[in-house]
Amino acid sequence: MTAPVALPPSVRRIAFDDLDPADRVGYEAAFEQADTGLSEGGVPVGSSIVRNGEVIASRRNRRVQEGDPIAHGEMNALRLAGRQPTYRDVTLHTTLAPCMMCTGTIIQFKIPRIVVGEAQTFPGNFDVLAEAGVEILLLDHGPSIDLMTRFQTEYPEVWAEDIAEDTAEDIAEDIAEDIAEDTAEDTADDAADDTLDDTAH
């Protein structure tokens, strides 16, 4: 689990039970997608797009299922929604704080408002979204946190691949290699110093 990060002041925390009916329906659709994704062996992030209280598209991350590196939940929901005259009247729901790719897409299409399930297991890019004027509601949704925590624990390599990060094992190996290189350099330096001392004597 990622360490908690400070949230921009504009991020508004709200409990799931306090959502208005349209937001509740939208988030339920997103979470259902995330749950389905995990059952398929994929990354459990779901997303939906809501306009005037109606879910016009809902989809999940399908990077694993389709072998598509950009098939994140938000991207797939937008793809399913198809061409739209405007996105300035929709709310995007996502079970996890958006990565930089999805953040850029939200900003690109001028989506004004997002409802996010959680940012505990991945902090996302709220600062970038907030700077672009996107309204952000954060639920701290327990079931969403549990779903992603389970996935990250069971499939750490797949998660690292999804967010383009090294696994803990990779990081440990890199550190071990750095230590070995430093030790070798120190040994060589010591040997060189000993040689100079012998020459001086």
- Nearest Cα to 198, choosing from 127, 69, 190? 190
Rounded CA gap, 7 and 161, in Å?
A: 25
Packed helices 21-39 and 142-154: angle between N→C axes, nearest 10 degrees? 20
Residue 83: C-alpha distances to residues 46, 90, 109, 190 (Å): 20, 13, 11, 67
Active-site residue flag, 74:
yes
- Nearest Cα to 28, choosing from 139, 134, 125? 139
Q: Which one is catalytic: 54, 66, 74, 154?
A: 74
Residue type, 19: L
Q: Active-site residue numbers?
A: 74
